[in-house]
Amino acid sequence: MTENASLPNSSSDRLYFRQLLSGRDFAQGDQIATQMVNFAYAIGDRQTGECVLVDPAYSPAELIEVVGADGMQVTGVLATHYHADHIGGSMMGFDIDGITALLDEVDCPIHVQAEETEWIRKTTHISPEHLMEHTSGDVVSVGGIDITLLHTPGHTPGSQCFLVDGKLVAGDTLFLDGCGRTDLPGSNSKHMIESLQLLAKVPGDTVLYPGHQYSADPSATMDHVLAHNYIFQGL
């Protein structure tokens, strides 16, 4: 027996992964958060205690507290896309807290696709030095956990999905039923089709974690989604 024999070794044991529903798991009592049923995610390394937050909107300070109660410290943010219900900003006449408020609590990089930078700056007025620009295939390491960034334009020009340990965190690109809207500023339906074709190629046992709870189930395998989500019929 070595001293650290009880420490988890494989990446699966080290992986910290939480799916958090707005209005239920955080931002309780916030009407917009409750209506919008956004999912935020925390992904980290249990061994080093570091984690990143995916789309920390509505109540970033509370999300920091939630992961803090698990012994995890926020060291970065992954932004799926520029919409205010994901990263904060103004929407439907309401001001939603997000990455700007988070930076008041923790000084950390916000990882974005390069194509989304200008849109994120316009939505949040964040100072550019906090934005770390990426291209598709880049890997963000959180402790010993590697997260692969996939550029999936369509819903917005720089929408991105994240692959980590057999999980696909898809933002508003793909839901269990349907996909993100392509009638919004910066949307492109041709790019959306290409992005969905890309996502259709991830291994079938990969579990899809979407950006909103628009279905009864909060997650499903890609095998299930490819067989049941109408958006893949005829793609």
Q: How far is CA 219 from CA 61, 123, 173, in A?
A: 25, 28, 14
Residue 14 or 83 having the CB closest to Zn ion: 83
Q: Does 111 bind Zn ion (CB under 5 A)?
A: no
State which residue, 83 or 111, has the beta carbon closest to Zn ion. 83
Shortest distance, CB of residue 94 to Zn ion, whole angstroms? 15
Q: Which is nearer to Zn ion, 60 or 180 (CB)?
A: 180
- Per-residue tokens: 123: 């939505």
Which of the residues 161 through 220 are near Zn ion (CB under 5 A)?
172
Residue nearer to Zn ion on the CB measure, 16 or 119? 119
Answer for the pair 147, 163: CB distance below 8 angstroms, yes or no: yes
Q: Provide the minimum distance between the beta carbon of 64 and Zn ion in the complex, in angstroms, as a whole number.
A: 23
Cα–Cα distances in Å, from 186 out to 87, 113, 158?
16, 14, 9
- Tell me, by CB under 5 A, how many residues bind Zn ion: 2
Binding mask 74-93 for Zn ion (x = CB under 5 A): ---------x----------
Task: Say which residues have a Cβ less than 8 Å from residue 11's Cβ, sequence separation at least 6.
Answer: 144, 145, 146, 165
* C-alpha separations of 141 from 77, 97, 222 in Å: 12, 26, 24
Binding site for Zn ion (CB under 5 A): 83, 172
